[in-house]
Amino acid sequence: METSSFIHPAIGFLALAAVLPFLRGQWWNWLLPAPAVLAVFAVFTMTPGDHLTLHWLGQTLLLGRVDKLSLVFAQVFAVMSVAGMLYAMHVKDRGQHIAAALYVSGGFGCVFAGDYLTLFVFWELMSIGSTFLVLLNRTRESVLAGFRYFLYHTAGGLLLLAGLLLRYKALGTWEFTAMAPSANAPLYEWLILAGFCVNAAVVPLHAWLPDAYPRGTVTGSVFMCAYTTKTAVYVLARGFAGWEILAAAGTVMAVYGVLYACIENNARRILSYHIVSQVGYMVAGIGVGTAMTLNGAVAHAYAHILYKGLLFMGTGCLLYAAGTAKLDKLGGLAARLPWVMVLYMVAALSISGMPVFNGFISKTMTITGAAEAHRTLVALGLEIAAVGTFISVGIKLPYFAFWGGKPTDNDRVLAPIPWNMYAGMSVLAVLCILQGVAPSILYAYLPFEVEHPYVPWSVWHVLQSLLLLGFSGLAFYLLRKVITPHEGLNLDVDIAYRAVGTGALRFVCRPLAFLDDRWTEAYRTGGLRGLMGIALGSVWFDRQAIDGVVDGSARTVRGIGGLGARTQNGSLQDYLGLAAFFALCVFGLVWYLG
């Protein structure tokens, strides 16, 4: 029987965040991958079970629920953190690293949380960490975006909080378990679902994602693309597997995301809409709820973290080197940034589902599972999304970023890309290829048991993927002039939130501020003077009346003391006499009266 072992992977990151402000010198950058390596080690050595039970204020909290589902997510989080920290090693701004470390530890905490309280704490920690990853970009655009992001996520967190508190009141437990899908689910389950869906960027709650992620720091967005949404996928998989509404929502998300991605201009915004789309696959898989689709959702999450991270790293390199991520401003860079292009294409082909890369072994599982469960519309929607994915991320983005029909741009000044960024990208690229070629290394960790295992490498699957992708590529080629990106902002559902915000400001905040000003005036003229008057009266009373009594009594006591001290007159006979006299008095009185 092996001893149970559990090191919470968040510990290393929390320690890094605590220690980093105090380190001096140049060498601390090398420390950054350490907690990530520790996390990988922890994940691979931990034993399943319930660890780290805390008793706090009369509640039992479970910080270390390790089972197959949490283990697979923790594994990919750990691997991603290594690549992400490597990628971010060159950044001199400690604040970004601290924010990233807190953020990642929040992700780990959520994955291992066995109860809603712990989940909520780490959920909010993630929210704060990621807000700073946006804010620390330090441009006006990013600061405003970060502010909106934080407001929105706080609102989502409040939905979650309301749900979990109502649930505690109804059920009396904080335990985080699966909730059975039903038409009359109680209100708290819907609230919790809503809170989770905010983080999962379910349409129509998704607008924060394309608003904030393109405006984060170069390295921060890499972290953000992996953790917030995938943690949401994990909690949905844990709590809401089989909920019908998720199947519909997921399909909508998948198609909606690629539709917007086709018309966007900013490379990172395209990728952000793609997150919505890909997470849609996962949410649909969770909604359908069979073992194969759930496994598909988990496998897709795993693969997605790897290739999405690589995609953001690639576009991050473009942003870092060229200073912009806008496709209409880029082009003609393939020859000058060849490795960035190659590594980007690895991820692009992965996300599209090209055989040999890991998207192929994960996406198709979900679609097949949905079809086998006779959810034709879901499968159809996901296939449409696959076409759109390849067109926008697989071809459009790299084409216009690296070629764009322009000759090689030798005049543009490119900042040299540090080695660690290439290293981070290479780690992920290798893993993408490795998983694609040997899918069992991923499948071994999938949590749900299927009747017959999914075999991706069959002739038909390869052929179907190649057909689909090949002809989508042909479509792109034919329409390459139509799809050329132009500068512009595409309106999304965030017009609704902004309207709520401006409306609240105009109809609630300003009138209240006006009333508050009037009240303060009244306070100052009327209330304050009255208060001072009372104070003066009290002082007079204290000085004349109370002090008089107290001082008088003190003087009296001292006077009595003076009288008593007269007995000490220095003459020994008097002393002996008085001693005998008083002793006899006391003893006598006690003996005869006592």
Window 489 to 508, contacts with another protein (CB under 8 A) = 489-491, 498
Q: Min. distance of Cβ 466 from another protein in angstroms?
A: 5
Instruction: Decide if residue 429 touches another protein (CB under 8 A).
Output: no
Q: Using the rule CB under 8 A, is 483 a contact of another protein?
A: yes
Q: Which residue in the set 160, 275, 387, 427 belongs to the binding site for another protein (CB under 8 A)?
A: 387
- Which of 34, 37, 128, 466 contacts another protein by CB under 8 A? 466
Shortest distance (Å) from residue 514 CB to another protein: 24
Please say whether the beta carbons of 303 and 432 come within 8 A: yes
Among 54, 467, 509, 549, binds another protein (CB under 8 A): 467
Query: Rounded CA gap, 476 and 526, in Å?
Result: 75
Cβ 233 to another protein shortest distance, Å? 24
Output 111 or 365, the one with its CB closest to another protein.
365
Nearer to another protein, 249 or 334 (CB): 334
Three-state SS at 47: coil
Nearest to 108 by CA among 243, 217, 17: 17
Tell me, residue by residue from 122 to 161, as one string, x for binding to another protein by CB under 8 A and - for no binding.
------------------xx--xx----------------
Q: Assess 582 for contact with another protein (CB under 8 A).
A: yes
The Cα–Cα gap between 127 and 178 comes to 24
Tokens 């917007």 correspond to 260
Interaction between residue 478 and another protein (CB under 8 A): yes
| 313 residue type, one letter | M
Q: How far is CA 141 from the centre of its chain?
A: 21
The pair of structure tokens assigned to 195 is 């809170």
Task: Give 326's strand partners.
Answer: 266
CB 310 within 8 A of CB 339: no
Say if residue 543 is exposed, middle or buried (CB neighbours under 10 Å; 0-12, 13-18, 19+). Answer: exposed
Which among 350, 231, 358, 225 is positioned nearest to 299, based on CA atoms? 358
Total of residues contacting another protein (CB under 8 A):
83
Kindly tell me which of 60 and 464 has the beta carbon lying closer to another protein. 464
CA distance 8 to 109: 8
- Report the residue number, 186 or 204, with the smaller CB distance to another protein: 204
Place of tokens 């690639």: 314
549 makes contact with another protein (CB under 8 A):
no
Minimum CB–partner distance for residue 234 and another protein (Å)? 28
Helix (H, G, I), strand (E, B) or coil at 478: helix
Which window, 10-18, 171-179, 278-286, 381-389, contacts another protein (CB under 8 A)? 381-389
Structure tokens at 349: 């082909």
User: 231-270 mask for another protein (x: CB under 8 A)?
Assistant: ---------------------------xxx-xx-------
Answer yes or no whether residue 209 interacts with another protein by CB under 8 A. Answer: no
| Residue 553 within binding range of another protein, rule CB under 8 A | no
